[in-house]
Amino acid sequence: MAVLSKLVKWARIKSPWIIHYNSGGCNGCDIEVVAALTPRFDVERFGILLKGSPRHADVLVVTGPVTRQTKKRLVRIYNQMSDPKFVLAVGTCTMTGGVFRGGYGVVAGVDEVIPVDVFVPGCPPKPEAIIHGVVKLLEKLQKL
């Protein structure tokens, strides 16, 4: 069993598949997340692959301040992911609501809705910062 669990852990660290969810942000973080996937930054070298379905993904990448309209759907996506699951919140909005804090349409903060493992600050964070956040998350996986 020990060998098997080691193998599973190895596989998990070498191929963290992500699912990207915009909870009502301005698109700025989203294009930076995509930029991180394209040739110049290329997170695929860490085995990171963007997936279309929450059931295939290990890591949920959330951007945006979570609008009231998307809140329910965010929870639903989180519940559909299989365990163990991780959440990477990208951008200042995901922490405090950022510039949208105080607006009647926002919940202001992903951690108000679902548990978050790593926050990446910045408005929007540079792809380098997003990669740094992913590496921090991988370290967390190592300890699992």
Partner 1 sequence: MLEEEVEEKRVFKIPVGPQHPALKEFENFTFTVDGEKVIDVDFRIGYTHRGIEKLAESKTYIQNLYLCERICGICSAAHQGCYAQTVEELAGITAPPRGVYIRTLIWELERIHSHLLWLGVAAHEIGFDTLFMLIWRDREVVMSLLEMISGNRVNYAMSTVGGVRRDISDELKHKILKGLDVLEERTKYYKEVCMKEQTILARAANVGILSKEKTLKLNAVGPTARASGVDVDIRRDDPYGAYDEVPFEVIVYDTCDVLARILVRVDETIQSILMSRWILENLPSGEIRTKFARKIAENEVLGRVEAPRGELLYYIKSNGTDKPERLKVRTPTLANLLPVAEMLKGGYIADIPIVLAGIDPCFACMDRALFIDENSEKTWVWDKEQLRIYSIKWYKEHGKEVVRERWKQ
Asked if 65 is part of the footprint of partner 1 (rule: CB under 8 A), the reply reads yes
C-alpha torsion 135→132→94→125, nearest 10: -160
Report how far residue 84's alpha carbon sits from residue 69's, in angstroms, rounded to the nearest whole number: 27
Asked if 39 is part of the footprint of partner 1 (rule: CB under 8 A), the reply reads yes
Asked if 78 is part of the footprint of partner 1 (rule: CB under 8 A), the reply reads no
Asked if 76 is part of the footprint of partner 1 (rule: CB under 8 A), the reply reads yes
Asked if 80 is part of the footprint of partner 1 (rule: CB under 8 A), the reply reads yes
- Tokens of residue 140, six digits: 């967390």
Q: Please report, as a single letter, which amino acid is at residue 86.
A: F
Give the number of other CB atoms < 10 A from CB of residue 144.
9
- The residues that touch partner 1, with contacts defined as CB under 8 A, are 19-22, 24-35, 37-40, 50, 52-54, 64-65, 67, 69-70, 73, 76-77, 80, 98-100, 102-106, 123-124, 126
